Structure 1
């Protein structure tokens, strides 16, 4: 398989130098309690930013731990709604699937390269990476795309439509690589960089959405937790998962 350009040969989506300390076994109980407290506050109408500060101050969390707590928490109402709209794997058979491209790929790249993954209150696995307007492929990018393709082929999805954030630099180059891999494997895929993938994913009412982004899965008619499917079944190897559920 041809290597991706962009000097990805020595780049990974791995862990932060402090992650062993911030997310190690000694830190997990406080983080788990912080997620529970933040979820309680969110369920009672507290603004997210002020609630994160309140909980973070109480447990003396570092900045990266506060970010993790915010990503892992959700109200009981949100958790129940997300659970009701989540579909089992067999429902993908013969259906059209839309993928939140950067959301899925970055999570799988982090899993494959040993980055920390948060097992969140709604059952999603979320990474600690962020694109911040620029995406660069890593050593694990081709593997991540291939894992997605093989799994969706196993589930017999009828067609797959990837959406990438067009304003993010290198989205066009990534789209070309995804198309190339799809052609090599005869996967029924299309790939489209768009200005606002969240809006398009939510508007695709007849399709199954693949994402772990809270905004997307809260608005989607139905969604599938493909990242968790691949990671928790060890298709990405022995991933580093920090369970922040109660």
Structure 2
């Protein structure tokens, strides 16, 4: 069936699955999952072990997989993360769908997870196709305003070629940039992850795979949400 959603908001069960009474159990699960990863357990088996132990449902397990990380991953990500203010006068490369969907979700009342590594991650997913939602334009304008204040030299958005509507979204980014005078470009590439990891430019992403390979990155979505969207539905899973 075609995707007809107008918002990227909460799942109908989220109020129950992520109620305050559920958080101690979920935080313990994140701790245990991360403990197993640190000791070399495969992510799939560790997720099943911890998920079964705490009787987590599918959506809670997705949250667990995004919130946890090994000690080694945590330390590496902290070592390569720059203060967001350091993008001033620098060239920046954005993981386009990753950033845009997180901000859309936050604006539409969806859950955003505060993860062990300090990143904010949503529970949305793109399966082969991207569709704009009501909050897309607001997300563009908010991201643009924050980036404008930080004054990077240039910004390049990367979108996944295999995902349909990537070309249209890249063109919309270029149109928005021209209308506002932002130093932005947008490209559609086969594998943005590879490009972000290989580049010497500062990466904007919260994708774990990218953060484990990127030379330098900034935690832009966390900066934007904490400074501009204090009422977003943020679930803190980073601490016990």
TM-score grouping bracket, smaller chain normalisation = over 0.9
Whether contact under 8 Å (1:68, 1:118) holds in the other structure is yes
Work out the CA distance in 1 between the residues paired with 2:85 and 2:220: 12
Q: Is 2:13 the partner of 1:13?
A: no
Asked if residue 236 in structure 1 is aligned to residue 229 in structure 2, the reply is yes
Residue matched to 2:213: 219
Question: How many residue pairs get matched?
Answer: 237
Instruction: Quote how far apart the aligned CAs of 1:143 are.
Output: 1.1
**CA offsets 1:141-190 (integer angstroms, 9 cap, x no match):** 11111111111111110000000001101111111111111001111111
| 1:185-200 correspondence to structure 2 within 5 Å | 185-200=180-195
Structure 2 spans left out of the alignment, 5+ residues: none
**Equivalence for 2:28:** 33
Q: Give the match for residue 120 of structure 1.
A: 115
2:149 aligned partner: 154
TM-score (norm: length of structure 2): 0.96
| Structure 1 residue 232 displacement after superposition | 1.2
- Asked if the contact 1:108–1:236 (Cα under 8 Å) also holds between the matched residues in 2, the reply is no
- Alignment correspondent of 2:165: 170
Q: Distance in 2 between the 1:236 and 1:183 partners?
A: 26
Distance 1:239 1:96 in 2: 29
Q: Look up the SS of the partner of 1:219 in the other structure.
A: coil
1:115, 1:39 → 2: CA distance?
25
- Report the Cα distance in structure 1 between the residues aligned to 2:95 and 2:85, rounded to whole angstroms: 20
Q: Secondary structure at the match of 1:161?
A: strand
Q: Which runs of 4+ in 1 moved over 6 A?
A: none
Decide whether the 8 Å contact of 1:13 with 1:113 is kept in 2. yes
Give me the whole-angstrom Cα distance separating, in 2, the residues matched to 1:147 and 1:85. 26
Distance 1:145 1:99 in 2: 13
Distance (Å, rounded) in 2 between the aligned partners of 1:151 and 1:12: 22
2:20 maps to 1:48 = no
**Partners of 2:161 and 2:187 in 1: how far apart?**
8
CA distance in structure 2 between the aligned counterparts of 1:26 and 1:77, rounded to whole angstroms: 30
CA distance in 1, matches of 2:218, 2:101: 17
SS where residue 212 of structure 2 aligns? helix
Q: CA deviation at 1:77?
A: 1.2
> How far does residue 237 in structure 1 lie from its aligned partner after superposition?
5.2
Structure 1: runs of 5+ lacking an equivalent: 1-6
Whether 1:181 and 2:196 are equivalent positions in the alignment is no
